[in-house]
A and B are shown apart, each in its own frame.
Chain A
Amino acid sequence: MSSMELKSKAAQIRMDLLRMIHGAKTGHTGGSLSNTDILTALYYKIMTIDPAQPKWQERDRFIASKGHSVESLWCILADRGFFPKEELATFSQFGTRLIGHPNNKVPGIEMNTGALGHGLAISVGMALAAKKDARASRVFCLMGDGEQAEGSVWEAAMAGAHYKLDNLVGIIDRNRLQISGSTEEVMGLEPLEEKWAAFGWHVVSIDGNDIDALVEAFESAPAVAGKPTLVMANTVKGKGVSFAENVPHWHHHVPNDEELAKALAELEAVINSYSQEGQVQ
């Protein structure tokens, strides 16, 4: 996919996830909007995967350690053909597989996550197995910034460097908000990049809502042989919906009819601008 197609795709995924959350009347809106560009870059450009063979051993792995933001992932997996798009309408409803967190009964999901601070350790195990089996698979693990307060994140960080896992890419959705407000007020993290570097990781800091920057960062990993890569993706929580951006209560706020219409119109305009640009060229 071209850069413009990726950007357009991200806007479409945002529209899909907003409609899905609105329909279900529940969902983690803010954190899903903030990581949509990261997931779009991974699932449409970077990762080697085959929706027809979700368990293909040579595939790259993605672990959503911030499992509460599963909405963007459900929409992307459906769009990529892992399961029918109609199933998105069952999100969070009685008896569904598409619950409010990753569920590995659904094709395309590797592991069940949702309790924060589990994903990186799992990813270390997967990356270690790929090394032992001499497979080219890479492992991408998306974490929240609030999640960094869990000690288990740092235990795994230590192990990733110790085992020289340069096939492991940690990504932090650095949107600077968690539930109770700003990360720096709830539990200060800074200087976060220096901490990861001190733990032996190669740290790349980028605009995490810029798909071109994401693609470049992921494509060039590992930049340093023998070191895992940490992509500090500086994002905006609620990205793409003007009135939700940087507003803490959109963490799990559900748009009402009016808000949905407004948000969809904003995203529609983004898609139109890209398609016009495409015609000019």
Chain B
Amino acid sequence: MANKIPNRQVICETLVTLAQEDKDIMVLASDSRGSAAMAPFANAYPEQFVEVGIAEQNIVGISAGLAHSGKKPFVTSPACFLSMRSIEQIKVDVAYSGTNVKLVGISGGISYGALGMSHHSVQDIAVARAIPGLAIILPADRHETKRMTEALAVHEGGVYVRIGRNPVEDSYESDDYEFVIGKAVTMREGSDITIIATGETVRIALDAQAELAEAGVSARVLNMHTIKPLDEEAIVRAAQETGGIITVEEHSIHGGLGAAVAEVVVQQHPVPMRILGIPDEPAIAGKSTEVFDHYGISSSNIKAVALGMLRK
């Protein structure tokens, strides 16, 4: 079933519902209420909405001040600028000072395909991972985005969330499951190999699992929605029980999910691994699907990589 709701719209709808009860929830935008799909929130709760203009450093500083005074700010701004331009404010004003700011990076990854590297956000996970005390979450689909937003509204502390721009096909059948920050979800059990994906690539991993099943391979699929704190236990178990791991992400192959998983694997239970993502170059221009295919972030390539690993 094709889903037509982008995750940014789900975040807005969920916040509109939550803000009815919780007057401390605030949404901030940097001339980005349209791209963040936050116009309905701005219209429904003008008193709980702050526009800062095109000023991504300012939006994080202001949010830290609001949080320090008991507000629950959700910053919504393009992932590329929010994660990199404001990184010092995130490090010092949010993480180091321990303020309760939720940073929602929208149109992340290569969502803005033909706008080029200035607008791609494929270093954000690497940068955010190096900041102590900052949680990092990439929801897989609209159901997970809803459960995540509810969890964030009651979670204390700094969190960086990254979502894409377009609707993604569902990975879950419904939102009737438990979402726990820091706990991976086993989407499919399997014994021959494990595919670990995050965010909107979970759907691709599930498709690869189905294709591998047809070829007689039993693949486990882990949805690592929280990159930090990382579910090390699920990774070690996957290494022990399936003997090989492939990671998939809409991020540079340097410093993202693959690197985080590899750090665990190599130190706790070494097994063969492959990291699929964007190589170390300014990504080629094009639509998301074209760029994904170009770099082998596709179910058919995951299948080929898995078969290659199993043959050895």
Q: Which residues on A are within 8 Å of B, measured CB to CB?
A: 26, 67-68, 92-96, 99-101, 103, 112-117, 146-147, 149-151, 178-180, 186-187
Q: Lowest 7 CB-CB distances: which A-B pairs, in order?
A: A187-B53, A114-B118, A149-B53, A94-B286, A92-B114, A100-B115, A99-B116
Report yes or no: B286 in contact with A101, Cβ–Cβ below 8 A: no
Report yes or no: A186 in contact with B51, Cβ–Cβ below 8 A: yes
Residues 20-38 (chain B) with a chain A CB within 8 angstroms: 29, 31-35
Using known A-B contacts A115-B81, A179-B31, determine if residue A93 contacts B55 with beta carbons closer than 8 Å.
no
**Set of chain A residues within 8 Å of B29, measured between Cβ atoms:** 180
B234 lies within 8 A of chain A by Cβ: no
Minimum distance in angstroms from A129 CB to a CB of chain B: 23
Minimum distance in angstroms from A168 CB to a CB of chain B: 22
Report yes or no: A93 in contact with B286, Cβ–Cβ below 8 A: yes
Task: Scan B45-77; emit 1 where CB is below 8 A from any A CB, else 0.
Answer: 000000111110110000000000000000000
Report yes or no: A93 in contact with B114, Cβ–Cβ below 8 A: yes
**Set of chain A residues within 8 Å of B33, measured between Cβ atoms:** 180
**Set of chain A residues within 8 Å of B114, measured between Cβ atoms:** 26, 92-93, 96, 99-100
Selected contact of B31 from candidates A94, A101, A146, CB within 8 Å: A146
Report yes or no: B53 in contact with A186, Cβ–Cβ below 8 A: yes
Q: Which residues on B are within 8 Å of A, measured CB to CB?
A: 29, 31-35, 51-55, 57-58, 80-81, 85, 112, 114-119, 284-287, 290
Selected contact of A94 from candidates B53, B55, B119, B290, CB within 8 Å: B290
**Set of chain B residues within 8 Å of A99, measured between Cβ atoms:** 114-116, 285
**Set of chain A residues within 8 Å of B117, measured between Cβ atoms:** 112
Report yes or no: B284 in contact with A95, Cβ–Cβ below 8 A: yes
**Most chain B beta-carbon neighbours within 10 Å: one of A93, A99, A178:** A99
The complex places the Cα of A217 from the Cα of B116 at a distance, in Å, of: 33
**Set of chain A residues within 8 Å of B286, measured between Cβ atoms:** 93-95
Report yes or no: B116 in contact with A117, Cβ–Cβ below 8 A: no
Minimum distance in angstroms from A12 CB to a CB of chain B: 25
The complex places the Cα of A115 from the Cα of B57 at a distance, in Å, of: 13
Report yes or no: A187 in contact with B51, Cβ–Cβ below 8 A: yes
The complex places the Cα of A92 from the Cα of B53 at a distance, in Å, of: 27
User: Nearest CB to that of A147 among chain B residues?
Assistant: B54
**Set of chain A residues within 8 Å of B115, measured between Cβ atoms:** 68, 99-101, 114
The complex places the Cα of A115 from the Cα of B112 at a distance, in Å, of: 13
Report yes or no: A187 in contact with B116, Cβ–Cβ below 8 A: no
Using known A-B contacts A99-B285, A179-B34, A180-B33, determine if residue A112 contacts B52 with beta carbons closer than 8 Å.
no
Minimum distance in angstroms from A278 CB to a CB of chain B: 39
Report yes or no: A67 in contact with B118, Cβ–Cβ below 8 A: yes
User: Nearest CB to that of B38 among chain A residues?
Assistant: A180
Report yes or no: A187 in contact with B55, Cβ–Cβ below 8 A: yes
The complex places the Cα of A117 from the Cα of B58 at a distance, in Å, of: 13
**Most chain A beta-carbon neighbours within 10 Å: one of B114, B286, B287:** B114
The complex places the Cα of A178 from the Cα of B81 at a distance, in Å, of: 17
**Most chain B beta-carbon neighbours within 10 Å: one of A100, A101, A149, A180:** A180
**Set of chain B residues within 8 Å of A149, measured between Cβ atoms:** 31, 52-55, 58
Report yes or no: A146 in contact with B53, Cβ–Cβ below 8 A: yes
The complex places the Cα of A147 from the Cα of B117 at a distance, in Å, of: 19
**Set of chain B residues within 8 Å of A68, measured between Cβ atoms:** 115
**Set of chain B residues within 8 Å of A187, measured between Cβ atoms:** 31, 51-55
User: Nearest CB to that of B39 among chain A residues?
Assistant: A180
Given A95-B285, A150-B55; 14 other pairs, CB 8 A cutoff: A68-B115, A93-B285, A93-B286, A95-B286, A100-B114, A146-B31, A146-B54, A149-B31, A149-B52, A178-B54, A179-B34, A180-B32, A180-B34, A187-B51
The complex places the Cα of A68 from the Cα of B119 at a distance, in Å, of: 10
User: Nearest CB to that of B114 among chain A residues?
Assistant: A92
Report yes or no: B51 in contact with A180, Cβ–Cβ below 8 A: yes
User: Nearest CB to that of B29 among chain A residues?
Assistant: A180
Selected contact of A112 from candidates B112, B116, B284, CB within 8 Å: B116
Minimum distance in angstroms from A229 CB to a CB of chain B: 24
Minimum distance in angstroms from A112 CB to a CB of chain B: 7
The complex places the Cα of A186 from the Cα of B58 at a distance, in Å, of: 14
**Set of chain A residues within 8 Å of B85, measured between Cβ atoms:** 115
**Set of chain B residues within 8 Å of A26, measured between Cβ atoms:** 114
